[in-house]
Amino acid sequence: MLKLASTIQQRREKTELVLTNIYNLPPIPKAMTEAMELLDNSSASISTITGVISRDQGLVTKILTIANSPLYGLQRKVTSIDFAVMVLGFTELKNIISVLSMAESFKNKTDKYLDQKEFWLHSYLTGSAAKRLSEDLDFPNSGEAFVAGFLHDMGITVMHKYFHTHFVEIHKLVSENNVSFLEAEYEILGMNHQEIGNFLADKWNFPEVLCDVILSHHNPNSSSSNKILSSIVHLADYMTQKLQIGNSYWDNTIELNLSEVEFLRFREPEELDRFIKSYEELFAYQAKAVRFLN
């Protein structure tokens, strides 16, 4: 047992060393970085912001598609970036561009071990569901829930990109030994994808609450700073699996205990099932939207 613990610790230290040396991700498109800088400046004019965003037609298309989805429930169709800025506001638009830029930074080639489109579909749907859940449950910051939900599995794409040989070993261990991905990650890397995502998020000075959600999204009861937000993301993650829309094979063994979402006050599993079913239309629409974005 001591030898096994020592081996796991050695693997963890090696993994942390690699993570520590991840300084520069592939460059984010210039329009995204400039737009986020302007959106941080409350004195920036709408015309200046729209001018920067409009230089990247791919970014324009993605923003308008998201703005017109049921995620925001706008009464009028958003047909221009200047209107999107006005109706969504600086903070919400920055949240959208932030998640799009993260997807761009971690973009990698699809292989038989990870389909990139399916991965980002799952990330986007989890973020979308977390945002809607937070609004329906009167959580004070639905934009934060969207970003947290989108980034919850960032550790998986980090493993695929920077630990590919180990990523293959994890798949092999899961298929041959009937263990969960979390268990296999820990055995091969000494860390699971929650810990890897949290390590990088903390290294890059993400807000503490986002780091906490990334670290605890499979077990909200372990959350140290915002159990409710971690529970919301955990439930959103589970919903993709339950509805079989944008679900991830990485979550094939995901379980939801009512105690982990106790703030919902569901007494019976049947109540929770009906609640999740009510989100099916949103999931289906959002899945179509994000496939278009790809």
Residues 69 and 201 in one domain: no
Whether 77 shows a pLDDT value over 50: the answer reads yes
Looking at residue 248, which CATH number applies to its domain?
Answer: 1.10.3210.10
| 63: exposed, middle or buried (Cβ count in 10 Å: 0-12, 13-18, 19+) | buried
Choose among 203, 201, 235, 202: nearest CA to 218.
235
* Residue 114: strand pairing partners: 111
pLDDT digits (tens, 9 = 90+) for 127-159: 999 999 999 888 888 889 999 999 999 999 999
Phi, psi of 170 (to 5 degrees): -65, -45
- Read off the pLDDT of each residue in 184-210 and give the average, rounded to a whole number: 92
- pLDDT score, position 293: 63
Choose among 182, 202, 178: nearest CA to 190.
182
- pLDDT score, position 66: 87
Q: How confident is the model at residue 255 (pLDDT cuts 50, 70, 90)?
A: confident
How far apart (Å, rounded) are the C-alpha atoms in residues 264 and 272? 9
- Read off the pLDDT of each residue in 179-198 and give the average, rounded to a whole number: 95
Average pLDDT over the chain, rounded to an integer: 87
pLDDT digits (tens, 9 = 90+) for 173-184: 999 998 999 999
Choose among 211, 201, 189, 278: nearest CA to 239.
278
Domain end point (choices 58, 90, 105): 105
- Read off the pLDDT of each residue in 234-258 and give the average, rounded to a whole number: 90
Q: Residue 57 belongs to what domain range?
A: 26-105
Stretch among 100-104, 119-123, 234-238 having the lowest mean pLDDT: 100-104
- Read off the pLDDT of each residue in 204-216 and give the average, rounded to a whole number: 90
Residues 91 and 183 in one domain: no
- pLDDT score, position 125: 93
- pLDDT score, position 33: 80
Residue 81 and residue 60 in contact, taking contact as beta carbons nearer than 8 Å: yes
Residues 66 and 171 in one domain: no
Residues 51 and 172 in one domain: no
Residues 68 and 112 in one domain: no
How far apart (Å, rounded) are the C-alpha atoms in residues 233 and 1? 35
Residues 164 and 279 in one domain: yes
- pLDDT score, position 27: 60
Percent of the chain with pLDDT over 90: 45
| Chain centre distance of CA 36 | 19
Residues 7 and 119 in one domain: yes
Residues 73 and 211 in one domain: no
Whether 26 shows a pLDDT value over 90: the answer reads no
Residues 114 and 80 in one domain: no
How far apart (Å, rounded) are the C-alpha atoms in residues 232 and 217? 9
Whether 1 shows a pLDDT value over 50: the answer reads no
Torsion of CA 179, 187, 156, 141, to 10 degrees: 90
Residues 18 and 94 in one domain: no
DSSP state of 222: G
Q: Global pTM?
A: 0.88
Residues 144 and 43 in one domain: no
Q: How confident is the model at residue 87 (pLDDT cuts 50, 70, 90)?
A: confident
How far apart (Å, rounded) are the C-alpha atoms in residues 130 and 124? 10
Look at 25 and 154; give whichever has higher pLDDT: 154
Task: Indicate the number of domains in the chain.
Answer: 2
Domain end point (choices 87, 105, 123): 105
Residues 95 and 158 in one domain: no
- pLDDT score, position 109: 87
Whether 3 shows a pLDDT value over 60: the answer reads no
